[in-house]
Amino acid sequence: MTLDKFRPLADRALTPFVSASERLGLTPDAVSVIAFGFAVAAGGAFYAGGTSGPTAWYLAAALFVFANGWLDLVDGALARSLETDSKGGDLLDHVLDRYADVIIIAGMAAGADAYALGLLAVTGVLLTSYLGTQIQAVGLGREYGGLLGRADRLALVGLIGTVAFVLPGQLVGQLTAIELLLVLFAVVGHLTALQRFWGAWSDLR
């Protein structure tokens, strides 16, 4: 299960957004920073949705997450269009993506008062991303596959934010939609990391 295999299709849909960014004079790094801003807003909205009551915060969080994911595609497409791809830009993009993952999950966990689940979820997500880049570091190419890639995670977070807006409260046992997603990230995130490790280990032997 991974949406990353649809990147070529998404790249074609990015053309109007890349053109608009060029007209506005935005650099790929600027787009990356704007995308990160939406991630911060999403984390804050998830926290507010769990602590202040109005479930409209969850819908706002979902929209912010989708904006973050889309702009995360735009920055790379813009860099290719402007022929300004650089190692520095790639580093900035990866660092901001990891911080975005942490902030979004932290907001979800804090809002749901589920800190243990949040810890397990964020470590699963970070290890999944780490294995992807570490596999590249040993010469096997960037790994986007596995049970749950970043595109899948963002899609699920946006979907669950919408579900939490429509169906607040407990859904399964004592768990809300947000908590169920944290459980999924905790379990599947670590499984994805192990899957990537095993695939790379097998290729290297």
Per-residue pLDDT tens over the stretch 4-13:
555 566 667 7
pTM of the model: 0.88
Give 175's strand partners.
Answer: 172
> Tell me, what's the pLDDT at 61?
96
**pLDDT at position 102:** 96
Q: pLDDT per residue over 61-87, tens digit each?
A: 999 999 999 999 898 888 888 878 788
Share of the chain above pLDDT 90, in %: 49
What domain range includes position 61?
4-204
- Report how many domains make up the chain: 1
* CB-facing half-sphere around the CA of 67: CA atoms within 13 A: 18
CATH number of the domain where residue 109 is located: 1.20.120.1760
Question: CA-CA distance, 187 to 190, in Å (whole number)?
Answer: 6
Higher model confidence: residue 90 or residue 186?
A: 186
